[in-house]
Amino acid sequence: MQVILIKDVDNLGSAHEMVAVKPGYARNYLIPQKFAIEASSSNTKIMEERRKQLQKKEDKLMAEVANVTEVLKASPVKVGAKIGVSGKIFGSVTAIQIARAIREQKGYEIDRRRITIIGDVKEAGMHKASIDFGKENVVEIEFEVAGE
């Protein structure tokens, strides 16, 4: 029996994919749990239209990510920290501080959980962080740690 998956199903397929399964599995599990619908001609057309709409949304999102990436790579973000006489930082620089600096200096709201600091930040100067925008879009940016 041919069914169209509505949601991702482990060991079977991903959403909006047509798969062949045994009729009992489809009738007793996939369709009642709203994981799939029967692959009739009208349902196939509806799912193709949804797939096209999702692709348009994803393309628009990727264009926005490219724009944000360009702005972030243009110049380093400045992060303030308390610095001792020898140039070492008291405490540490966190992803929250970097997210706040991006919001204030560049105007983009980026979730702190998407930011990963590369290496240890123990001294003033230039350092690197990576931002994961999802869908394998990881951008490496530079930030400068300066005294407050």
Contact 133, 65 (CB under 8 A): yes
CA atoms within 13 A on the CB side of 143: 31
- What is the residue range of 50's domain? 2-64
**Domain at 104, CATH number:** 3.10.430.100
Instruction: Note the pTM of the prediction, 2 decimals.
Output: 0.66
> Are 88 and 139 members of one domain?
yes
pLDDT at residue number 24? 95
105 and 48 in a common domain: no
Task: Report the domain count for the chain.
Answer: 2
Q: Are residues 47 and 94 in the same domain?
A: no
Q: Does residue 121 lie within any of the structural domains?
A: yes
The number of beta carbons lying within 10 Å of the beta carbon of residue 78 is: 12
What would the pLDDT profile of 120-133 be if each residue is shown by its tens digit?
888 888 999 999 88
Q: Cα dihedral angle (93, 96, 102, 107), rounded to 10 degrees?
A: -160
Q: What is the CATH number of the domain that holds 26?
A: 3.40.5.10
